[in-house]
């Protein structure tokens, strides 16, 4: 899977043009999933632009109620209505800037699943945590709390995004990423058995067309969640092609 998280970028025309470029230039790629995650207000426009193609739509966040007096929030039902099949949950930018807690993330995951949306759960350590050598401890707690009370993880995707690698141009080395991906898969195996083998674990953080090739060689790296490089059609398509070659 290659997912493009556009974050708070693009204008409507750009969003439509980018989506169409990706549709046209990935038509021959049949293996694997390509997911676009535009800002909320462009979901309908992008949904329209990718209609009839193999590309899937994702939101960047959601609230954990169906409807009601929650000014400014978007419900999972609305996301489905807009054509989403996926929703990113617990992105580190939401944890950092919008006080997203593990408890909220758990509620959102449960709600997404019961609404029929596939969550892309983001986890990852800060630089300080990595330097203290507590990466696995931090990621382990994030996953444990996020999945609390969830029995079936077959529709969940996990994205390992080390915070220090996001938007910094300093990606984790394939070996550094693989170590955490392996840890995540084995942690999932302990609780959910062999579903762990089917779990998609994406790497995110300064992924480019130049570094994706060596990342995707790793046994437990099943794809990428791409920020900056997903905003340029050419580089995103380049990443998709490199992932498709390896799988």
Instruction: Tell me the catalytic residues.
Output: 91, 161
SS3 143: helix
Burial class of residue 59 in the structure, from the number of CB atoms within 10 Å of its CB (0-12 exposed, 13-18 middle, 19+ buried): buried
Using the rule CB under 6 A, which residue among 23, 153, 207, 243 binds ligand 13P?
207
Q: Give me the residue whose beta carbon is nearest to ligand 13P.
A: 227
**22 is a site residue for ligand 13P (CB under 6 A):** no
Give the whole-angstrom CA distance, residue 89 versus residue 239: 23
Binding to ligand 13P by CB under 6 A, coded x per residue (else -) over 75-114, reads: ----------------x-----------------------
167 scored as a contact of ligand 13P (CB under 6 A) = yes
Instruction: Indicate whether 225 belongs to the interface with ligand 13P (CB under 6 A).
Output: yes
Q: At what angle do helices 233-246 and 12-25 cross, to 10 degrees?
A: 30
Q: Would you count residue 202 as binding ligand 13P (CB under 6 A)? A: no
The correct pick among 50, 228, 240, 244 for binding ligand 13P (CB under 6 A) is: 228
Whole-Å CA distances, 25 to 22, 115, 240, 242, 247:
5, 32, 10, 13, 18
Rounded distance between C-alpha atoms, residue 168 and residue 172, angstroms: 11
* 204: enclosing H helix or E strand: strand 200-204
The span from the first CA to the last CA of the chain, in angstroms, equals: 10
Indicate whether 227 belongs to the interface with ligand 13P (CB under 6 A). Answer: yes
Helices (H), 26-119: 43-49, 76-81, 92-97, 102-115
Q: Which window, 64-72, 142-150, 203-211, 236-244, contacts ligand 13P (CB under 6 A)?
A: 203-211
119 contributes a contact to ligand 13P by CB under 6 A: no
Choose the stretch contacting ligand 13P; rule: CB under 6 A; options: 136-144, 189-197, 213-221, 225-233: 225-233
Task: Tell me the C-alpha distance between 198 and 143, whole Å.
Answer: 17
Nearer to ligand 13P, 65 or 129 (CB): 129
Among the listed ranges 14-22, 76-84, 199-207, 239-247, the one in contact with ligand 13P (CB under 6 A) is 199-207
Binding site for ligand 13P (CB under 6 A): 5, 91, 161, 166-167, 204-207, 225-229
């Amino acid at each position: 899977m290659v997912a493009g998280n556009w974050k708070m970028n693009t204008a409507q025309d750009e969003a439509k043009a980018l989506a169409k470029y990706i549709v046209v230039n990935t038509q021959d790629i049949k293996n694997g999933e390509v997911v676009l995650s535009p800002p909320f207000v462009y979901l309908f426009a992008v949904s329209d632009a990718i209609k009839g193609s193999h590309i899937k739509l994702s939101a960047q966040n959601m609230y954990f109620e169906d409807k009601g007096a929650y000014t400014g929030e978007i419900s999972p039902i609305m996301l489905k209505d807009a054509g989403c099949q996926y929703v990113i949950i617990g992105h580190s930018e939401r944890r950092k800037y919008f006080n997203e807690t593990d408890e909220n993330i758990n509620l959102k995951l449960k709600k997404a699943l019961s609404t029929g949306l596939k969550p892309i759960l983001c986890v990852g350590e800060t630089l300080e945590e990595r330097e203290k050598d507590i990466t696995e401890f931090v990621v382990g707690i994030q996953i444990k709390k996020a999945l609390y009370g969830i029995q079936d993880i077959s529709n969940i995707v996990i994205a390992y995004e080390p915070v220090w690698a996001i938007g910094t141009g300093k990606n984790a080395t394939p070996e550094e990423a693989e170590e955490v991906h392996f840890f995540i898969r084995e942690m999932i195996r302990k609780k959910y058995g062999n579903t762990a083998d089917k779990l998609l674990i994406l790497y995110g953080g300064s992924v480019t067309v130049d570094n994706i090739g060596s990342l995707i060689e790793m046994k437990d790296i099943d794809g990428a969640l791409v920020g900056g490089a997903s905003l340029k059609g050419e580089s995103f398509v380049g990443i998709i092609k490199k992932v498709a070659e390896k799988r």
